[in-house]
Amino acid sequence: MYYLYILKSLNNNKFYIGVSKDIKERLHKHNKGWSKSTKPFKPWEIAYTEEFIDKKLAYKREFFLKSPMGYLEKKAIFSRLI
């Protein structure tokens, strides 16, 4: 299984969207500072997940949420997480 995940910074209202096969391990790496884009905003918590059986579908969903076409849907998800 592959997971689209949204992390929320515990220091502010920053969010990060990613894909991983092992969410717990990926969260651990984000909180250890292994990702340049999330390091300044650690610690993080998992705020939202979606499950996919196919890696391509998970990445397609991530791309959609990060694109202008997915902006309103992403904002709706974020508003539920704040």
Q: What CATH number is given to the structural domain containing 71?
A: 3.40.1440
* pLDDT score, position 63: 98
What pLDDT digit, counting tens, does each position of 31-51 carry?
A: 999 999 999 999 999 999 999
Number of domain units in the chain: 1
* pLDDT score, position 2: 98
Residue 23, domain extent: 2-81
- Residues of the chain where predicted confidence (pLDDT) is lower than 50: none
Sign of CA dihedral 41, 42, 47, 51: positive
Reading phi first (left if > 0) and then psi (alpha if -120 to 50, else beta), residue 44 is in beta
* pLDDT score, position 76: 95
